[in-house]
Structure 1
Amino acid sequence: MHPPMAKDPIAEVQKNWQRHGWVSAAAPAATVTAIMRTQQILLGRAQEILKPFDLTFARYEVISLLSFSREKRMPMNKASQLLQVHPTSITNAVDRLEAAGLVERQPHDSDRRAILLVLTQEGKRIAEQATEVLNTELFEQTGFTTEEIEDLNRILANFRERAGDFTR
């Protein structure tokens, strides 16, 4: 991390947009930029927390998803859908997790084309430990107030619904 800047660079983005005559786009440009910067900050924190587990956040999401499933297994295409990632991305994450002994690929019981992802005992242990540390060091210390979290969850869910991410 670098030291804090004397001015908010995203506020400067908004001013630059206004100066160039893009007044109606100025505030939305600042909002989009702020959301993306916030994502970078939070992802950077998560990656640092997960480094001792030799996990990226993307790989953590896979083992976390499996750990929450009743049988600690699910079809790979379902995991890809639930994590909202391209099949290539889940394949890359699973390759790494399998090499680390955290998940196994197994044939599906009834669909020969499908692959099941199965959480190993070591994967379950790492998922539990990593979740505990993420809860303590990131999720319970985001830097947002409880009210801000509630507002953000509502605002972002409304946006995601309008964008076609899900339906209620």
Structure 2
Amino acid sequence: MTDDPIAVARANWAKAGWGDVADGMVAVTSVMRAHQILLARVETALRPYDLSFSRFELLRLLAFSRTGALPIAKASARLQVHVTSVTHAIRRLESAGLVSRAPHPTDGRTTLVAITSAGRELVERATVTLNEQVFADIGVSPEQSRALVGAIDALRHSAGDY
């Protein structure tokens, strides 16, 4: 008998008569568990910066943008999250002095979010930490990482994600 709960779930699925869909259940469960593992590592790395991964992503997106500012709707689209989630992240970052909001200079219906110098400095330090503590070694070989991305890319494409 194995200590792997997902392997046990596969056996239970097959025993229940659902063997024809057991591979799919194992794939979904495995991705969900991998997400939990990686998110915990990311959160641990970002804890000293008082950042969640979503707030880090927003700061990193703004730091990468040519002007350091984007319309909130564009940030939402690029991060692939609902505008209310981006607005929540903006509020938290704004209260910490890491971003600011301003009216768009030519479109009165649009609000821009801009990274501040403090936000830029923080996201640079946080990026170094993530690169060293998480991205440099996610727990699988580079070849396995590329294969994983390929499999997930196929799933995203078939779901119409892009």
- 1:55 is aligned to 51
Rounded to whole Å, the distance in 2 between the matches of 1:29 and 1:158 is 17
Partner of 1:161: 157
Alignment equivalent of 1:128, drawn from 124, 128, 139 = 124
* SS of corresponding position for 2:42: helix
Shift of 1:144: 1.1
Rounded to whole Å, the distance in 2 between the matches of 1:8 and 1:164 is 32
* Structure 1 unmatched ranges of 5 or more: 1-5
TM-score normalised over the length of structure 2: 0.97
The residue that corresponds to 1:115 in the other structure is 111
Give TM-score, length-normalised by structure 1: 0.94
Match of residue 138, structure 2, among 124, 138, 142: 142
Equivalent residue of 2:35, what SS?
Answer: helix
Deviations 1:5-59 (A, max 9, x none): x600011111111111011111110110000000001001101111110100010
Shift of 1:87: 1.0
Q: Which segments of 5 or more consecutive residues in structure 2 lack a partner in the other structure?
A: none
1:4-23 alignment to 2 at 5 Å?
7-23=3-19
**Per-residue CA shift, 1:98-127, capped at 9, x if unaligned?**
000000001011211111010000000011
For residues 66-99 of structure 1, what are the alpha-carbon distances to aligned partners after superposition, in whole Å with 9 as ceiling and x for unaligned?
Answer: 0111111100000001101011111111000000
Q: 1:44 aligns with which of 8, 19, 40?
A: 40
What is the total number of aligned residue pairs between the two structures?
161
| Equivalent position to 1:71, from 46, 67, 70 | 67
Q: Which runs of 4+ in 1 moved over 6 A?
A: none
Once the two structures are aligned, what percentage of the paired residues are identical? Answer: 43
* Alpha-carbon distance between aligned partners in 2 of 1:111 and 1:12, rounded to the nearest angstrom: 57
Separation of aligned partners in 2, 1:60 and 1:126 = 9
